[in-house]
Amino acid sequence: MEIRCRCGDKCIRPISKTIKDIELFYKPCNDCKTEEIKKFSPLAEQINLDKINNYFGSCKCGKRHLDIVMSHVLKVMIDEGIKEKKSNLRNSCVPLLTPGYPTNFVPYLPKDSLVILSNEADKRCAETIVKEVREVKGVLRGDVRKTVGIKDSDSNPHVYELLAGCDLRCDIIQTPYGVLGIYKYQREIHIEFPKIKPPKIEILEKALKNFDMPTVLDCTCGPGTLGITCLKAGARKVVFNDIWNPAIETTLINLEANGFSVKSSGSEDELIASGDKFEVYSTDIRELANCVDEKFDICIVDTFPGVDTIEFVEAASKLGKKVVVI
């Protein structure tokens, strides 16, 4: 299946290429500059804002310190009247790196490596940021405290608003079975900051150790992280399911990007696509038994934070021998 970013650009690459030299992606060169910027002090009291542009803090390698990039973003927000002149970096906006990769140092950013989330920015400000700050590829409006997506079939979805640019990001996920790359349109898929040892992967690993080549149902698959991990772990078959269409869209992207060829069914309901050792469905987990006639070794339930999992577990119990709530 051919995959292409909604923006029309070549944002989606095979993960094998994305992770090549990933450890060096955010590392500074010997000539990179560092600015001592206090995050809780007004930016205008530390730096002459008129001096901040794409050349400020720049290096011949093309990277800039994260704080310098965020200072540039804040400067635009102040110029556009979105933020007061006494604003500081701490309350400017949320930086979302792409690819998201855990480091033990402050990253230095190359071009198009950042999506920012602000609950104050407007379209004009966002367009100016994307135009003037070379590291920023997209600007979203929304509240980071509110989870994006849909809780269940009885709920209305919550999404962020894309104000300018492209919001497709990639998170690099470390697993015992190899590295994954998970693409997501951040306006529609919940934010998860990559960790060196992802807790969800550790829970899943414990469950997988009890089976040899299990069959797995990922009941609420989101962008496909856990189900693809199971494929990498040698699962005999994995069924992905999610009621949220954007989650299914990104699952298909991530299967392809991680080396699992996808064949579309041509349908937008129930069975969406399939491939060697996997199927992808989009239906209410409570109705999935009407589509899938088999008993799985493992059923994974990974819901929104704070959501009561009772109904999900009851539905999964009818489909699998072991239910793993993550």
pLDDT digits (tens, 9 = 90+) for 2-39: 788 999 999 999 999 999 989 999 999 999 988 789 99
Percentage, residues of the chain above pLDDT 90: 84
Check residue 307 and give its pLDDT: 84
Neighbours of 305 (CB within 10 A): 6
pLDDT in tens, 39-89: 999 999 999 999 999 999 999 999 999 999 999 999 999 999 999 999 999
Check residue 305 and give its pLDDT: 81
Cβ within 8 Å of residue 215, ≥6 positions away: 235, 236, 237, 238, 239, 294, 296, 297, 298
Percentage, residues of the chain above pLDDT 70: 100
4 phi and psi, to 5 degrees? -150, 140
- Domain ranges for the chain: 15-168, 198-325
Q: Which two tokens stand for residue 326?
A: 């993550």
Using 50, 70 and 90 to split pLDDT, how confident is the model at 267?
confident
- Which residue is it, tokens 């469950």? 207
Spatial distance between the Cα atoms of 317 and 160, rounded to a whole number of angstroms: 33
Q: 298 vs 66, 206, 212, CA distance in Å?
A: 41, 12, 11
Check residue 35 and give its pLDDT: 78
DSSP conformation letters of 182-236:
EEEETTTS------SS-HHHHHHHHHHTT-SS-EEEETT-TTSHHHHHHHHTT-S
| 263 has pLDDT over 80 | yes
**What region does 273 belong to: left with phi over 0, alpha with psi -120 to 50, or beta?**
beta
Q: Which two tokens stand for residue 104?
A: 């033990």
Q: Which two tokens stand for residue 198?
A: 């992802």
Q: Quote the CATH superfamily of domain 198-325.
A: Vaccinia Virus protein VP39 (3.40.50.150)
| 269 has pLDDT over 80 | no
Spatial distance between the Cα atoms of 6 and 10, rounded to a whole number of angstroms: 10
Q: Which of 179, 204, 152 has the alpha carbon at shortest distance from 259?
A: 179
pLDDT in tens, 155-167: 889 999 999 999 9
The four Cα atoms 301, 302, 308, 309 give a dihedral, to 10 degrees, of 10
Q: Are 141 and 160 in contact (CB under 8 A)?
A: yes
Q: What is the average per-residue pLDDT within 294-303?
A: 95
The C-alpha angle with vertex 295 and arms to 290 and 298, in degrees rounded to 5, equals 115
Q: What is the average per-residue pLDDT within 139-150?
A: 94
Using 50, 70 and 90 to split pLDDT, how confident is the model at 113?
very high
Q: Which two tokens stand for residue 7?
A: 């923006």
Task: Enumerate the H helices of the chain as residue ranges.
Answer: 15-18, 22-25, 66-79, 123-132, 199-208, 225-232, 245-257, 310-317
Rg (CA), the chain: 21
Check residue 150 and give its pLDDT: 87
Q: Are 93 and 115 in contact (CB under 8 A)?
A: no
